[in-house]
Structure 1
Amino acid sequence: MSTAVADARAGRHRTPVGVDRALLVDTGFVIALAAVATFAAWPIYETPYLFITVGGALVVAAVVTLIGRVRRWNWLLTAVTLAIAYLVLGVPLAVPSAFVSRPDLVQGYHELVVATVTGWRKLITVGTPVGHFQTLLVPMLIVVLVCASAAFALVFTRARVRGYGALVPIMLVPTAFAIVFGTSANGSPLTLATITVAAPRHVLVGLLALVLAGGFLVWRAQHERRLALETAAQASGIRRASGITSGSLRRLAGAVAVVLVGLIVAVPVASTMLVPGPRHVLRTAVNPVPQLSRYVSPLTSYRQAFEPAQYDTPLLSYSGDAAAVGRLRIATMSFYNGQQMTVLSGDSDQQNAFAHIPELTGRQPKAAATLKVTINDYRSLGMPDVWLPTAANLSAIEFHGGDVNALTDGFYFNRELQGGAELYDLGSGDSYTMAVDPPAATEALSSLTPSAGAVQDTAYIPASLTQWVQAQKVGSGGQALTELIQRLRDRGYLSHALVAPPATTPKSKNWLSALGVPGTGTFQASFAGESTDRISDLFSALLRQQQLEGPAAPDKSLVAGVGDDEQFAVASALIAESLGFPARVVLGFVLNPSVTGPSAIPACSGGVCKGQNLTAWIEVKGAGGAWVPIATTPQDKLPLAKKTSTQTEPKFPTQVQPRDATVQPPPEANPTGGTHQNTTHTPDQPAGPAVWLPVFRVGGSILLVVLVLLAPFLSLAVVKWARRSERRRMTDAAARVAAGWDELVDTAVDLGLPPPGVRSRAEAAAVYAAAARAGNPAHMRTLASGADEAVFGAFDPTPGDAERYWAQLDEQRARLTASFPRWKRLRALISLRSFRTRRGGSA
């Protein structure tokens, strides 16, 4: 009788029918929660390759842990094998871009190692969906691989008496990763009867995880109870009644009630708590903007294109649907600070930021027009070559050559500005192909109206500009804007220099000879710059000439403003701003002359854009929200009016001073954390606390990776602590004493000592006392006899007896642990041996 009871307590019985079913359920639960994590991560990636990454991670984790179980590897050897499998299979599972060429394949393994640490930060700095862009699938691979390996380690070791509960927190980590690293958008609301769910996807993810976890725990608890009853029946010979009992019905009803309560509470809470605004995730706390505002404005280098050395120099070549593309945009400048037009303001945010847009650099279906651009002597323009010539309505871009991945890595785009930037060192011979969608039909300029309630910043609009606009008496709106800009062009005179260019030779050309001016006698000097003073002088000259000639004088008598696209584009933008229209200046090339009409700046021809083709225009936005381009180049046929040509310019004009002497962003400017930055300039040195920001960012990324890698081991330590606490808090004193002996056995087994097997408690105590060199064998025998007395004695122990027993137990456990080296004590903390031996199998 006592032997049968002891066998029942120790779990020493033949494997009952149904254990394999539990194995299948555990495995299915791991796969199901991985599927939930994939569903939760879909808004981040939105690529079918995500299924390959997650599925491959599950297969690798299952195979490695199963082999380790069959061959009886320890946890360290299994972890090393898993790391090797990750390094070997990580590229095909998470870095598809590495299969472009053999060098890229070799580079892919290097990027895999780097992405193990830096990929976490890069993931939250790239706009979603990221697709399979670069190495951004690596974090998902790591999370699923590590968590699935820890989960399968529990499943395959059959540690399911108490260890099965650890599967839930372990496999919820990938779902938590998808939520934390996901987007802050809540998605379109879903109305169910009278309840509106603001974030249906997030609610569905939570409900799926809740139902799976709750259902799994209920089924496993029921399964363990059934196994325990079958074991007791085998040991005692007493068969329990079969069929569904009232207790089973109560447990089933309770589980259903818990799920229903969760649904009833979660859906209304989600419908109210998520309505106020977007969720706050890691992505919302990180600014993925390369600090392009630190670069000198490209418009300040405009005139260098008309120097003799660059005027007839091929800057880039193109082939394809040039007529459909129409224009190449180098930079779009939306901000004016009184000194220059800039691409971005000093306090630019994510809405106006350049960022990685993976969907542009992936392989896309062919658009209506394609254009291949090859860089020639683009650097000779003198402007930062970070600005990449692109086209409006860009739908895809594909780089060519040996540095495909590097160029793709360095490409940033701003959808609002329709402009691109390349932080990698762009050199002669680099090429790329753009796919461009047909432009949407835009309103006629004359029919534009300002947006209702729009308030424009007029702080930098010169008073002379306002006076000149008022003197034209053309009213407001799109018709007035059209007339004002046309008058500005007609009454201006094109000049690209302060000093006349040298005389031409058969082998050289200059802009003055191209204008058809017979000699340098009619040359008109023009100061560079686009500062408020320079624009004010331009309108002062126009206003003065109109006052002298009268408002009804013909345009040939009112030509008074001298300058080129640098001044006239800025002046036109300020005119639009004064009328309430948002405006911006675009620097680039015209490929199709029909989009601008006759102009003193010729369009590119013969598939080549030269310095002489560089031009600037403006774009204005009306109430419809579309940007409408307007040519602003002044005319060159009518000379300056006589009364104006005798006047002299100010002796000391305002000169444009670049805000920064350097044009290279600091190291943190590249949100990828990579090394591909423009290396042709000297970076600004951050001052003060900013010096430590990169250290904190890298340190945080490393800490996050370490925590993810250690999560399974920490989970094991937590599970063991919870097991010990549960044993110690048992309400029945006899059960508490018996559980105390089980805790001592588990400690010994985790330290590497043999499980009791067929030994009695007294025999096991002798074995463990011999291993505890610092302990007293008599005390260990006392613990064994105390446990036997609690289980088989005539009288039950009191709660006080149980407390004293646990006090002695803690002392003996401490002495037993102290007898082993520190590394063995650490290994025992995360050992699974006590689970595999079913709590040590005490006799």
Structure 2
Amino acid sequence: MSTGSVGGLLRRHGADLVVLPLLVLLALVPLGPAFGTGHLVAATVGGALLGAGVAVAGAVLRWGASTVLAAAVVVLTLCSALAAPTTAVGGVVPTLATVGAVGRGVVTSWKEIVTVLPPLGAGGAVLTAPYLLAFTGTLVALTVALRTARPAWAVLAPGLVLPVAILLGTAEASGAAVVGTGGALIGLVWARWRAGRVHAGRLRAAAVLVLVGAVAGGGVAAVAPPSGPRVVLRDVLEPPPDPRDYPSPLAGFRSYVKDHRDEAVLTVAGLPADTRVRLAVLDAYDGTAWAVSGEAASGTFRRVGERIEPDLPGGLDRLHVTVGEYAGVWVPMVGRPYDVDFAAPRLGASFYVNRGTGTGLTTVGLRPGDTYELLAAPVREPTDSELEGAPLAVVPLPAARYPEVAGTAAARMVADARTPLAQIRAIESGLQQGYYSHGLEGDTPSLPGHGAARIDALLGGEAMVGDEEQYAAAMALMLRAIGIPSRVVMGFAAPAGATGAQAPGDPAGAQAPGDAAGSVALTGDDVTAWVEVPFEGHGWVPFFPTPDEDRIWQQESPTPQNRPQPQVLQPPPPAPEPPDAPPSDRREVDTDDEPEDDAGWPQALLVAAGVVGGLLVLVSPLLLVLALKARRRARRRSSGTPSQRVAGGWAELVDAAADLGVPVRRGATRLEAAREVAGALAVPPGLAAGTAELAERADAGTFAAGEPDDGAVEGYWRDVAAALAGLGRAVGRRRWWRARVSPRSLRRPRQSRTGPSVPDRRPRAQAPRRERLRRSER
């Protein structure tokens, strides 16, 4: 590459080398909110510069397409640290891990962008997609501008990059009007200038036009109301996992109390006072269990990028969670989570979160000993005075199949309530009048579960007895029955007075990770469940219908009294009946009551199956021969041109003769073959004449100038079938069936069959002279 050639190219195409990379970078601006990191700028600007360098080198050295492609692959690999900075040394020098990550990112980064919640950050190889878009868009645009006769078409490259960036971005459209208007005007002016329609003296006016258009577009975007949400792929795609694939955690409520009542299930450092740990939000009921729905907003879980929420406000609580006897896919969360940092990489790679419900899950599941740090904001619960008069929020919830007793009991409890809050409180206080029991040894009997039968027994039995599982499930169903939206939440509640929070003044409000001081051990006895109802302006508000644990039901059992009965003279017992004499002959014994011996049936079936299986094995070669001949016959009749199908019909007749043991002389014409077969089998004269006619019709259909129609072909095959039936009658049934299962015709090479297997499509005048003479003699 000479310095003069490069300098000349820069002088002639300096505007192209500035405008086109700028347009590509403007097209990638919609990706900014999705990544939320400065590494995106480095990846896109670096990719654009590298693409420009390869395009200039290709134009100066006049590389072909394959050479340009090879150079692009080498450059992308050598500079792969731009796409995976976290795997490079110092974020600059690529390693083998960097190259491997970017290689995988070429395929996987597109999916990660639309399935991971923003901000995506720079972890892994998620920057590979914008890196490739900047590089490829700039390379294509400059190559078209520098090496083609229509340089204005180069604006198509950034024009294609823009919709891809919008689809991969977020619904946030801040600055989109300014960027879009400015980019469109710059591209339009440049394209007209490169096409020779804008003189150099008017470039200043064009620049003013671009500036005014960008400002005007920004002003319109600032004052105009939004026309609707931007359509992006992350809002259209439904990524895994589906929470319906996992069992309801509420179904295992009693196992915590029964198996780990005094054992630490979770240990939380930094837990604020009077704070509940949220495990799962359940809003779907199918008559058996409350579960997480897969159709409403609560069932949408997304991958987490750099953190759960884009911005981190002050005053967040920092908690350190150590998993004890807990095991499951649901990740215990507190308040409104902003960020989660797992110690085990397997958990971070499989973590999904639902921002609306503040819950998370990991597809690989938590195990004892796992730890993670959680940044969360405390959620304040509104008072009744604040809720009074507030309308219920309208939220999408799946239909619940509640038992009839839920509606009856709810109607009885809310008879005097007029407002939604009064109705909720009436049901809550009504259920609190029940009795508490886990149903363990020494407790009042109380069955686990919260299916329709268990709820019916709770609300319609002699007394309401249960624990948080039954009362929370019942209240949510009763509220649904009277038209109030509700859901069940399962989690853990710290014992009264226990707290792991540090003294006020710490901005994180947290305990140092791993410090045992200030930690709260949550045991299986701390498992709980409650009900939440949505209010406008307040979100989901919790309610607690479970009675106090000291409300224990004592079933009253009256002491039986002794009431002496008057003595009555009893009659004497009846005389015993004489015993039956044993039969003198064993044949006289009654055998009607003896059980039938059915043990022989399975053995008989096995014997029959063995016999049938053996017969099938013996006759399988014959069945295979019949199947192969049927397949050959079907292919000959339906495949190929009409002339080939006619030739196939004659071949079927010749093969039948071969199976009967009549060899056809090699090289004989069809008419000669028909005479030889008729003479060898001593067929009746009528059948011999019919066979000769079939040979002549096969010759006519094969060597005629035109193709026979489908009707003629089907008629020929019907006559072949009739001739075969006549051969069967002529040779006898036994010989005919032996011929049908004979593999002789399957072994014969195609070249030995009479007549050409592939018809000669040459014109009639160019057919072999010998064949024309034979037809004239006939």
User: Which residue identity is paired with 1:312?
Assistant: D
Specify the alignment match of 2:403 in structure 1. Answer: 462
Secondary structure of 1:633's aligned partner: coil
Name whichever of 177-186 and 209-218 sits farther off: 177-186
Tell me, yes or no, if the aligned pair for 2:531 and 2:543 is still in contact at 8 Å.
yes
User: Which residue identity is paired with 1:615?
Assistant: T
The structure 2 residue matched to 1:313, chosen from 263, 280, 286, is: 263
The structure 2 residue matched to 1:393, chosen from 336, 339, 361, is: 336
Correspondence list, 1:73-152, <5 A: 74-96=64-86, 108-132=98-122, 134-152=124-142
Tell me, yes or no, if the aligned pair for 2:33 and 2:172 is still in contact at 8 Å.
no
User: Which residue identity is paired with 1:428?
Assistant: P
**Alpha-carbon shift at residue 52 of structure 1 (Å):** 0.9
The structure 2 residue matched to 1:414, chosen from 330, 354, 361, is: 354
Specify the alignment match of 1:360 in structure 2. Answer: 307
**Alpha-carbon shift at residue 432 of structure 1 (Å):** 1.0
Tell me, yes or no, if the aligned pair for 1:34 and 1:54 is still in contact at 8 Å.
no
Seen in structure 2, the aligned counterparts of structure 1 residues 305 and 440 have a Cα distance that, compared at 3 Å, is closer
Q: How many Å separate the matches in 2 of 1:369 and 1:422?
A: 22
Q: How many Å separate the matches in 2 of 1:435 and 1:59?
A: 39
Specify the alignment match of 1:335 in structure 2. Answer: 284
Structure 1 position 164 matched with structure 2 position 151:
yes
Q: How many Å separate the matches in 1 of 2:382 and 2:528?
A: 22
Q: How many Å separate the matches in 1 of 2:465 and 2:446?
A: 6
Correspondence list, 1:622-701, <5 A: 622-643=535-556
The structure 1 residue matched to 2:254, chosen from 297, 303, 317, is: 303
Q: How many Å separate the matches in 1 of 2:123 and 2:388?
A: 40
Secondary structure of 2:529's aligned partner: strand
User: Which residue identity is paired with 2:548?
Assistant: Q
Q: How many Å separate the matches in 1 of 2:408 and 2:449?
A: 22
Specify the alignment match of 1:575 in structure 2. Answer: 478
Secondary structure of 2:105's aligned partner: helix
Specify the alignment match of 2:182 in structure 1. Answer: 208
The structure 1 residue matched to 2:272, chosen from 323, 326, 337, is: 323
Secondary structure of 2:366's aligned partner: coil
Specify the alignment match of 1:662 in structure 2. Answer: none
**Alpha-carbon shift at residue 367 of structure 1 (Å):** 4.3
**Alpha-carbon shift at residue 54 of structure 1 (Å):** 0.7
Q: How many Å separate the matches in 2 of 1:457 and 1:373?
A: 33
**Alpha-carbon shift at residue 325 of structure 1 (Å):** 7.6
Tell me, yes or no, if the aligned pair for 1:530 and 1:570 is still in contact at 8 Å.
yes
Specify the alignment match of 1:57 in structure 2. Answer: 47
Secondary structure of 2:361's aligned partner: strand
Q: Which has the larger radius of gyration?
A: 2
The structure 2 residue matched to 1:375, chosen from 323, 347, 366, is: 323
**Alpha-carbon shift at residue 51 of structure 1 (Å):** 0.7
**Alpha-carbon shift at residue 371 of structure 1 (Å):** 0.5
Secondary structure of 1:539's aligned partner: helix
**Alpha-carbon shift at residue 108 of structure 1 (Å):** 5.0
Q: How many Å separate the matches in 1 of 2:519 and 2:208?
A: 76
Tell me, yes or no, if the aligned pair for 2:435 and 2:552 is still in contact at 8 Å.
no
User: Which residue identity is paired with 2:50?
Assistant: V
Seen in structure 2, the aligned counterparts of structure 1 residues 67 and 447 have a Cα distance that, compared at 3 Å, is closer
User: Which residue identity is paired with 1:313?
Assistant: E
Q: Which TM-score applies when normalising by structure 1?
A: 0.55
Tell me, yes or no, if the aligned pair for 1:330 and 1:387 is still in contact at 8 Å.
yes
Seen in structure 2, the aligned counterparts of structure 1 residues 295 and 15 have a Cα distance that, compared at 3 Å, is closer
Tell me, yes or no, if the aligned pair for 2:46 and 2:82 is still in contact at 8 Å.
no
Structure 1 position 539 matched with structure 2 position 476:
no
Specify the alignment match of 1:443 in structure 2. Answer: 383
Q: How many Å separate the matches in 2 of 1:474 and 1:211?
A: 68
Seen in structure 2, the aligned counterparts of structure 1 residues 95 and 330 have a Cα distance that, compared at 3 Å, is farther
User: Which residue identity is paired with 2:51?
Assistant: A
Q: How many Å separate the matches in 1 of 2:74 and 2:7?
A: 37
Specify the alignment match of 2:417 in structure 1. Answer: 475
Q: Which TM-score applies when normalising by structure 2?
A: 0.60
Secondary structure of 1:627's aligned partner: strand
Q: How many Å separate the matches in 1 of 2:400 and 2:221?
A: 46
Seen in structure 2, the aligned counterparts of structure 1 residues 86 and 325 have a Cα distance that, compared at 3 Å, is farther
Name whichever of 528-537 and 296-305 sits farther off: 528-537
Deviation per CA, 1:406-457: give whole Å up to 9, x if none. Answer: 4223111112211111123433332111111132452338945573685988
User: Which residue identity is paired with 1:86?
Assistant: L
Deviation per CA, 1:305-352: give whole Å up to 9, x if none. Answer: 1224x3333323222x2125812111111222222111124x346x75
Tell me, yes or no, if the aligned pair for 1:186 and 1:279 is still in contact at 8 Å.
yes
Q: How many Å separate the matches in 2 of 1:341 and 1:76?
A: 60
Deviation per CA, 1:739-794: give whole Å up to 9, x if none. Answer: xxxxxxxxxxxxxxxxxxxxxxxxxxxxxxxxxxxxxxxxxxxxxxxxxxxxxxxx
Deviation per CA, 1:128-182: give whole Å up to 9, x if none. Answer: 4434354332111111112222344456xx537x253242222333223212333
Specify the alignment match of 2:661 in structure 1. Answer: none
Equivalent residues, number: 534
Q: How many Å separate the matches in 2 of 1:451 and 1:275?
A: 27
Seen in structure 2, the aligned counterparts of structure 1 residues 434 and 645 have a Cα distance that, compared at 3 Å, is farther
User: Which residue identity is paired with 1:564?
Assistant: D
Larger RCO (CA under 8 A, 6+ residues apart): 1
Tell me, yes or no, if the aligned pair for 1:443 and 1:628 is still in contact at 8 Å.
no
Secondary structure of 1:322's aligned partner: coil
The structure 1 residue matched to 2:163, chosen from 171, 176, 179, is: 176
Correspondence list, 1:196-275, <5 A: 201-222=175-196
Secondary structure of 1:593's aligned partner: coil
Deviation per CA, 1:803-831: give whole Å up to 9, x if none. Answer: xxxxxxxxxxxxxxxxxxxxxxxxxxxxx
Specify the alignment match of 1:666 in structure 2. Answer: none
User: Which residue identity is paired with 1:217?
Assistant: A
* Two-structure CA RMSD over aligned residues (Å): 4.4
**Alpha-carbon shift at residue 610 of structure 1 (Å):** 2.4
**Alpha-carbon shift at residue 475 of structure 1 (Å):** 1.6
Q: How many Å separate the matches in 2 of 1:453 and 1:314?
A: 38
The structure 1 residue matched to 2:20, chosen from 19, 22, 30, is: 30
Q: How many Å separate the matches in 2 of 1:277 and 1:133?
A: 32
Tell me, yes or no, if the aligned pair for 2:82 and 2:131 is still in contact at 8 Å.
no
Specify the alignment match of 2:433 in structure 1. Answer: 490
The runs of 5 or more residues in structure 1 that have no matched partner are 1-13, 188-200, 227-243, 380-384, 501-519, 545-559, 597-603, 647-843
Deviation per CA, 1:112-132: give whole Å up to 9, x if none. Answer: 222211222332223444343
Q: How many Å separate the matches in 1 of 2:557 and 2:152?
A: 90
**Alpha-carbon shift at residue 295 of structure 1 (Å):** 1.3
- Identical amino acids, percent of aligned pairs: 24
Tell me, yes or no, if the aligned pair for 2:393 and 2:534 is still in contact at 8 Å.
no
Q: How many Å separate the matches in 1 of 2:303 and 2:554?
A: 51
**Alpha-carbon shift at residue 107 of structure 1 (Å):** 5.0
Q: How many Å separate the matches in 2 of 1:375 and 1:439?
A: 23
Tell me, yes or no, if the aligned pair for 1:131 and 1:359 is still in contact at 8 Å.
yes
Q: How many Å separate the matches in 2 of 1:15 and 1:87?
A: 27
User: Which residue identity is paired with 1:614?
Assistant: V
Q: How many Å separate the matches in 2 of 1:66 and 1:129?
A: 35
Seen in structure 2, the aligned counterparts of structure 1 residues 453 and 365 have a Cα distance that, compared at 3 Å, is closer
Tell me, yes or no, if the aligned pair for 1:45 and 1:129 is still in contact at 8 Å.
yes
**Alpha-carbon shift at residue 106 of structure 1 (Å):** 5.8
Tell me, yes or no, if the aligned pair for 1:313 and 1:610 is still in contact at 8 Å.
yes
User: Which residue identity is paired with 1:583?
Assistant: S
Tell me, yes or no, if the aligned pair for 1:495 and 1:563 is still in contact at 8 Å.
yes
Tell me, yes or no, if the aligned pair for 2:409 and 2:478 is still in contact at 8 Å.
no
Tell me, yes or no, if the aligned pair for 1:325 and 1:369 is still in contact at 8 Å.
no
